[in-house]
């Protein structure tokens, strides 16, 4: 990056103007090149209306702190791309000389369009060469802002979805009366609004639309944190194209992906939960409210394996010599930060026998007959939801695969493979319906900086979990499985409230693991008390040795969840390197939930938790939601006063 970050104060900027336009679907078409350490290809974005109805604004200085004057001097903007116009575009040819540069003293460049309401940040953004042009007579075009870092953007164009045959039955647009621009917008509007039971047809339409020809290049510009795109003459978000294609390639040093070698010294690449999320993997809208679906075609070396956040268990399709193609899709809308990919020379591990001396093999879980379907209609946006599916509601385990380098086969057989079914079953017995239809587990290379990471349909585990007896592997596996409910199916609307994900996963890992082992109640209690004691000591150490301001579960306090008028915001302390080593949000959240479970009693607590999952899956929440639900439960148990204290 060009900007020198100050770890003591730098927050992670979320730049996308989600209040005015939201990405509803991504179509990625990528090539992975181990030789150059580059992922290159295209991404097509399909847009819907923005988050205006739900947006909340706050004071600009407190909720949208950006670069200092010193950093702004270091900031460099890549040259503005000025497309060569042809007959398919409505704008005349222009050169750099036709753009005027807005200085800091100018009126906020994008207030009228709602792109930014912060004067300091707006003046920074407006320094790009295309923010005003002399031919606009003082009027500005709408500016689409995407989160983007460490990417080489090569070209941006509007996609002519109206050229795709056979879409007539999906759109209500009057073909003869509409202008070409309006017709394209209305086709995408109807496409993203197709009902959930038509998801197969919808994916097919997305695929065909993503392959449609372009109908005019768009102006674009990049800086350290964003990609900004505009179409001349599109004055508002409603006028902006609803489908655009971006040609780009990653950089070897990009922070969203790790290029490395596996345990057998073969090349591989994977996303590793970077503090900057996926913006160095593809241009996207990072704010959590930008929940989208996606599909991806990835081409890689013929003998490699491509794993991804996807509902389908993809199989390779041979292409030219030495190359295969893999295709994945997701129909449940989720934040783009949850997208995960891993490409390497891994082997699928098949279970052989279970260790005879382990309690799990001696006391296998009994089949669970309970139907965990919700009696109420789901209240999230429409998608093919497993919580309303009769078969899914009685599915104790889900299809799963384990991948690792061949050299770790013995360790996987001994420590992992036989654990997956009982851990999945234990999670089901506690929380009910599995939110996702399948699971891949990958043993990642030795440079992975954590014990585990959960994403939709895929879990990364460190090889460290394979050492010793089953307890380390089992508890970590249970922790990551818990994230399917808390962190993925139910997400935090403000990423500073990570306890909503990690606190629940830490508390539930003990519960799942005790259930997976089928421990008698007194043994389960002893195990959980010992772990609580160790966690308490760890928490005390962190409270003594970490910055006090980073120990707060809600660092934004009463402004948690608030964003600027454009939808942009920051993740407080998101770039602070100390944050990655801190457990305080895990541990404080764990002890809060432990207290509540003991105050309410096991039966009431987990019954309330299952109801909570049914009510809020597919949604983003804030701490206030947990507070309201749990205080209501505590009133019936007489512990509300203790909770408030």
Distance CA 404, CA 441 (A): 9
Set 67, 480, 497, 639: catalytic member: 480
Max CA distance (Å), the chain:
80
Pairing of strands 291-301, 21-33: parallel
Distance (Å, whole) CA 284 – CA 45:
9
Per DSSP, 545 falls in state H
Who's near 331: CB < 8 A, 6+ residues apart? 196, 199, 203, 293, 311, 383, 384
Which residue from 194, 80, 93 is spatially nearest to 143, judged by alpha carbons?
Answer: 80
Helix, strand, or coil (residue 105): coil
Strands 267-271 vs 317-318: parallel, antiparallel or unpaired: unpaired
In angstroms, how far is CA 463 from the centroid of its own chain?
24
Burial class from Cβ neighbours inside 10 Å (0-12, 13-18, 19+) for residue 49 reads middle
Q: How many CB atoms lie within 10 A of CB 581?
A: 9
Say how many residues make up the chain: 645
- Distance CA(387)–CA(487), nearest Å, equals 17
Give the separation between CA 142 and CA 130, rounded to whole angstroms.
11
Mark residue 577 as left, alpha or beta (left: phi above 0; alpha: psi -120 to 50; beta: remaining). alpha
Is 498 considered catalytic here? no
- Active-site residues: which are they? 480
């Amino acid at each position: 990056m060009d900007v020198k970050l100050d770890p003591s104060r730098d927050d992670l900027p979320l730049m996308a103007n989600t209040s005015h336009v939201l990405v509803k679907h991504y179509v990625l078409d990528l090539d992975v090149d181990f030789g150059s350490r580059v992922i290159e290809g295209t991404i097509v974005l399909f847009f819907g209306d923005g988050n205006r109805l739900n947006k909340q604004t706050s004071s600009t200085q407190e909720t949208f702190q950006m670069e200092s004057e010193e950093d702004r001097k270091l900031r460099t903007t890549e040259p503005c791309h000025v497309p060569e116009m042809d007959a398919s575009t409505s704008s005349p040819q222009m050169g750099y000389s036709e753009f005027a540069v807005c200085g800091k003293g100018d009126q906020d460049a994008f207030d009228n369009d709602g792109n930014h309401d912060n004067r300091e940040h707006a003046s920074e953004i407006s320094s790009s060469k295309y923010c005003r042009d002399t031919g606009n007579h003082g009027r500005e075009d709408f500016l689409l802002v995407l989160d983007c870092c460490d990417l080489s953007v090569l070209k941006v164009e509007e996609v002519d979805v109206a050229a795709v045959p056979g879409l007539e039955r999906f759109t209500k647009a009057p073909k003869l009366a509409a202008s070409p621009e309006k017709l394209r917008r209305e086709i995408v509007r109807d496409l993203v609004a197709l009902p959930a039971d038509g998801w197969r047809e919808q994916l097919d339409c997305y695929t065909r639309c993503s392959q449609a020809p372009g109908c005019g290049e768009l102006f674009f510009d990049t800086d350290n944190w964003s990609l900004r795109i505009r179409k001349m003459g599109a004055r508002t978000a409603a006028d902006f194209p609803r489908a655009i294609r971006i040609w780009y390639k990653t950089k070897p040093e990009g922070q969203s992906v790790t290029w490395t070698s596996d345990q057998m010294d073969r090349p591989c690449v994977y996303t590793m939960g970077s503090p900057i999320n996926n913006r160095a993997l593809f241009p996207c809208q990072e704010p959590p409210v930008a929940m989208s679906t996606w599909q991806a075609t990835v081409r890689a070396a013929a003998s490699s394996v491509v794993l991804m956040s996807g509902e389908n268990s993809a199989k390779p399709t041979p292409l030219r010599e030495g190359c295969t193609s893999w295709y994945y899709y997701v129909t449940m809308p989720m934040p783009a930060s949850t997208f995960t990919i891993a490409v390497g020379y891994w082997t699928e591990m098949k279970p052989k026998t279970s260790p005879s001396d382990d309690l799990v093999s001696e006391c296998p879980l009994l089949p669970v007959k309970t139907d965990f379907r919700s009696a109420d209609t789901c209240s999230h946006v429409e998608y093919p939801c497993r919580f309303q599916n009769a078969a899914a509601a009685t599915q104790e385990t889900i299809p799963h695969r384990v991948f690792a380098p061949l050299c770790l086969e013995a360790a996987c057989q001994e420590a992992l493979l036989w654990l997956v079914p009982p851990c999945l079953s234990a999670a089901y017995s506690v929380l009910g319906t599995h939110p996702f239809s399948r699971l891949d587990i990958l043993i990642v290379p030795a440079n992975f900086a954590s014990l585990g990471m959960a994403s939709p349909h895929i879990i990364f585990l460190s090889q460290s979990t394979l050492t010793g007896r089953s307890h380390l592997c089992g508890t970590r596996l249970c922790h990551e499985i818990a994230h399917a409910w808390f962190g993925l199916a139910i997400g935090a609307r403000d990423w500073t409230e990570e306890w909503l994900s990690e606190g629940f996963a830490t508390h539930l890992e003990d519960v799942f693991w005790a259930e997976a082992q089928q421990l008698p109640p007194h043994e389960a209690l002893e195990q959980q008390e010992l772990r609580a004691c160790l966690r308490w000591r760890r928490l005390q150490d962190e409270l003594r040795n970490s910055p006090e301001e980073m120990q707060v579960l809600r660092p934004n306090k009463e402004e948690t969840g608030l964003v600027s008028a454009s939808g942009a915001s920051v993740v407080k302390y998101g770039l602070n390197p100390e944050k990655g080593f801190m457990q305080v949000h895990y541990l404080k959240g764990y002890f809060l939930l432990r207290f509540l479970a003991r105050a309410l009693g096991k039966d009431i607590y987990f019954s309330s938790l299952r109801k909570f999952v049914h009510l809020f899956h597919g949604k983003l929440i804030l701490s206030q939601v947990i507070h309201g639900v749990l205080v209501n439960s505590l009133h019936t148990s007489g512990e509300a006063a203790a909770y408030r204290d």
